[in-house]
Amino acid sequence: MDQPGSVQQLTETIQLTWTAWEAMIGQVEEEQLVSPGVVGDWSLKDIIAHITWHEREMVGLVKAHALVGSDLWNLPTDERNAAIYKEVRDLPLEQVLAKSAQGR
C-alpha cells in the first residue's frame, strides 16, 4: 500500500544519497581513483563505472517492469561482473565520472 509522501521521501533520499556519493568521490585524488587493487584488480574508477552500468540498466528495468536490457543479465553474477569490468576498464576517468553524473 502506497503511503502519502512516500514518492517524495524516496526522491529526497535519492537526491541526498547522490549528493553524498558525489561529495565522497570528490574527496578522492585522481591517482587514487585510477589505482588498481581496491577490489582485486579493480580501481575506484572501475567500481564507479560498474555502479553506473547497473544504475543505467535499472532505469530500463523500472520503466519496463521487466528484466530487459543488456544480455549480460543472462550471465551468472560473477561472469556478468567480469564482463562489465572488461567493458569499462579502459574508459578514461573523465568519461566514467561524466557518465556517473548523468545518472543523477
Global confidence as pTM:
0.82
pLDDT of residue 84: 96
Q: Give me the amino acid identity at 98.
A: A
End-to-end CA distance of the chain: 27
What are all long-range contacts of 27-33, with beta carbons under 8 Å and residues at least 24 apart?
30/93, 33/93
SS3 helix, strand, coil % of the chain, rounded to 5?
70, 0, 30
pLDDT of residue 90: 95
pLDDT of residue 1: 45
pLDDT in tens, the chain (104 residues): 455 568 888 889 988 998 999 999 999 999 999 999 999 999 999 999 999 999 888 888 888 888 788 899 999 999 999 999 999 999 999 999 999 988 66
pLDDT of residue 68: 80
Residue pair 95/60 in contact by the 8 Å Cβ criterion = no
pLDDT of residue 104: 60
